[in-house]
Amino acid sequence: MKNNSKQSHTNRIKQFTLFPTLFTKLFVMYLTMFIIVLEIFFVVFSDQFQQYFIGYTQDMMIHHAKVIAEEYAELALLHQTPLDTLNQIAFKVETLDTYLNSTTLIIDAQNRVSIISENVQTKLTEDQVLYDEAIDQVFAGNVVKIDSGFEEYFSTSVLTIGYPIWVFNNIEYALFVHTPLPHILEITQDIDHLTVQVILLIGIGIFLAIFFLSRQLTTPLVAMNNLAKKIANGEFDKRIPIKSKDEIGQLASSFNHMASELDKIEENRKSFLANVSHDMRSPLTSIQGFVTAILDETIPADKQGKYLNIVLDETRRLIKMTNDILELNRLEAGNLPLHRIIFDINAVIKQVLSHFDVLIYEKNIRVNLKLEGVTQEVMADLDQLMRVIQNLLDNAFKFVDRNGVIEVETISVGDKLWVYIKNSGENIPTAELSNIWDRFYKTDLSRGKDKQGMGIGLVIVKEIIKQHQEKIGVTSHKGDMTSFYFSIERVKKSKKRN
């Protein structure tokens, strides 16, 4: 008892799944992928935008420095003193610094600070002498970009640009523009916050889209699952509404087709059972009646032999019907191995046809034999192929009209021999042509006369030909004879010699 309880608990653990439905799996998968993509996008975008904005700010600072340098050079051409020139550009320096929220230093050749525009708290003072490698680089004629320089002179980290001021091919001053990094980062953080808000709005929209997309994908699958359960309970008339032409719609269409086929098979099965019951009840009733009459001596002793022979015939008929059903089951299960041998099919056709001599005489039927060659050897299971020819001829004699024609023809094509068995009379309706090979199907009882049996002869024929891996078909057109045909492996002369 303890082991059973433990096993039951283990089974419950195995049956537990984190995402029990396809909808939750799709939804979580799409949502997870979306979140990962958004996170990657945000990190990459934030970093790239920060780099871009720092580069953009440096370009603006260089432009700022260039404008001041050009202004100074133009004023210097008027032969003003350096001090007067610096005083005249001071206003423009302050204006540009306000725009960039920056601090500008102009340093002379002796490394003394000549102008300071203070937008950032600094420890620098005018006439203060500075020593920095960047100053030497600018006086060497270079434009200098420093992500963090002059740190000892400012209360915060600054982005620095160094630009030379040329006058008459000489560098008179080094111009340095310092913009506080926190100010730049504050702008990028504002952009980041805006980006997050946009991403959240997009995320909500995509979240809803993922939800409805997952629901749209799984709804027909759920409907198919429910329909499958109903079909399993015998409700073959249920169908799935098709709302799309994509793979899901095609699957739903195939599922509906399967349900229709199952419905048709079920109807044929019921008809088959009714036919079997009727066909078996008739001989059983006859047997019961004659045996009862013999036992109570209603039938005189001198006539009992006659009626016992009738009972024997009815018994054989029952055995044949039972054997047909069993043989069909074995054929469909593949439990009847083929014993292929070489034999003359022309001789087999003539032999089987001789069994119908009485019917040929009674219905005044004209039989045309169009057999290719005196002999025509094939490789097949002799007993099974005789059964095929027997059943097809039996079918032809059932439906041929009185004074009609039955024609048997053989035609060789390559390594195949095609056998055609045709009969005149009423044609098979087009709607029934695709159904006559169904296991439980029996053609319209209004077509033809003298029809007996359970309607499985053609199914047995199809299964035998299928086991031989050959082809079988039927054509029936108004004004032409109904023709059943099949192929079989032909033995060529060179093969026979080998």
What pLDDT sits at residue 442? 58
Token pair recorded at residue 24? 């939750």
The rounded distance, in Å, linking the Cα atoms of 388 and 331 is: 13
Pairwise CA distance, residues 103 & 178, whole Å: 5
Q: Are 408 and 368 in contact (CB under 8 A)?
A: yes
Sequential DSSP letters for 368-415: EEE-SSS--EEEEEHHHHHHHHHHHHHHHHHHSPTT-EEEEEEEEETT
Longest CA pairwise span in the chain (Å): 160
**307 within some domain:** yes
289 in helix, strand or coil? helix
For the chain, helix (H) and strand (E) counts, in that order, are 13, 12
Q: Are 91 and 171 part of one and the same domain? A: yes
Say if residue 252 is in the same domain as residue 218. no
Tokens of 175: 């111009």
- Does residue 240 fall inside a structural domain? no
- Which residue, of 279, 299, 331, is where some domain finishes? 331
Q: Is residue 5 part of a domain?
A: no
CATH number at 267 reads 1.10.287.130
Rounded Cα gap, residues 267 and 264, in angstroms: 5
Q: Is 212 exposed, middle or buried (0-12, 13-18, 19+ CB in 10 A)?
A: exposed
Asked whether residue 156 is assigned to any structural domain, the reply reads yes
**Whole-number Cα distances in Å, 116 to 126, 183, 412:** 7, 19, 109
Q: Looking at the structure, do residues 360 and 313 belong to the same domain, yes or no?
A: no
Phi, psi of 404 (to 5 degrees): -90, -165
pTM of the full predicted structure? 0.48
pLDDT digits (tens, 9 = 90+) for 419-445: 999 999 888 888 788 778 766 555 544
pLDDT at 444: 46
Q: Which residues of the chain have pLDDT under 70?
A: 1-23, 79-83, 118-123, 149, 268, 272, 275, 278-279, 332-335, 438-455, 493-498
Same domain, 131 and 57: yes
* Domain CATH code at residue 188: 3.30.450.20
Query: Which H/E stretch holds residue 449?
Result: none
Quick one: which of 260, 237, 270, 282 has its CA closest to 439? 270
Looking at the fold, whether 327 and 345 belong to one and the same domain comes out as: no
Tell me the pairing of strands 405-413 and 366-370. parallel
Predicted pLDDT of residue 5 = 52
Query: What pLDDT was estimated at residue 226?
Result: 83
Cα–chain-centroid distance for residue 151?
Answer: 63
For tokens 């949502």, the residue is 31
Residue 414 lies inside a defined structural domain of this protein: yes
Question: Is 374 inside a domain boundary?
Answer: yes
| Residue 256: its H or E element | helix 247-295
- What pLDDT was estimated at residue 498? 46
Please tell me whether residues 274 and 348 are part of one structural domain.
no
Helix (H) or strand (E) holding 69: helix 22-76
Question: Can you give the residue range of the structural domain that contains 471?
Answer: 337-497
| Residue 10 belongs to some domain of the structure | no
Q: How far apart are the first and last CA of the chain?
A: 71
Residue 69 CA: distances (Å) to CA of 65, 89, 159, 162: 6, 9, 19, 11
> What was the pLDDT predicted at 347?
94
Domain harbouring 429, CATH code: 3.30.565.10
Query: Are 94 and 117 contacting, i.e. CB atoms less than 8 angstroms apart?
Result: yes
d(CA 393, CA 396) in angstroms, rounded, equals 5
Point out the domain boundary residue: 331, 361, 390: 331
State whether 219 and 279 are in the same domain.
no
Q: How many structural domains is the chain composed of?
A: 3
Q: Is 223 left (phi over 0), alpha (psi -120 to 50) or beta?
A: alpha
pLDDT at residue 130, rounded to an integer? 83
**Chain mean position to CA 21:** 19
Residues 341 and 300 in one domain: no
Q: For the purposes of burial, counting CB atoms within 10 Å of the CB of 194, is it exposed (0-12), middle (13-18) or buried (19 or more)?
A: exposed
324 and 444 co-located in one domain: no
Residues 6+ apart with CB under 8 A from 246: none
Other Cβ atoms less than 10 A from the Cβ of 207: the count is: 16
Block residue for tokens 């160094």: 162
Angstrom distance (rounded) from CA 392 to CA 396 = 6
Residues 149 and 30 in one domain: yes
Looking at the structure, tell me whether residues 273 and 375 fall in a common domain. Answer: no
Domain boundary, last residue among 214, 235, 256: 235
Same domain, 358 and 311: no
Closest C-alpha among 119, 146, 121 to residue 132: 146
Provide Rg for the chain, Cα atoms: 50
Q: Quote the tokens at residue 345.
A: 């099919």
User: 192 and 41 in contact (C-beta within 8 Å)?
Assistant: no
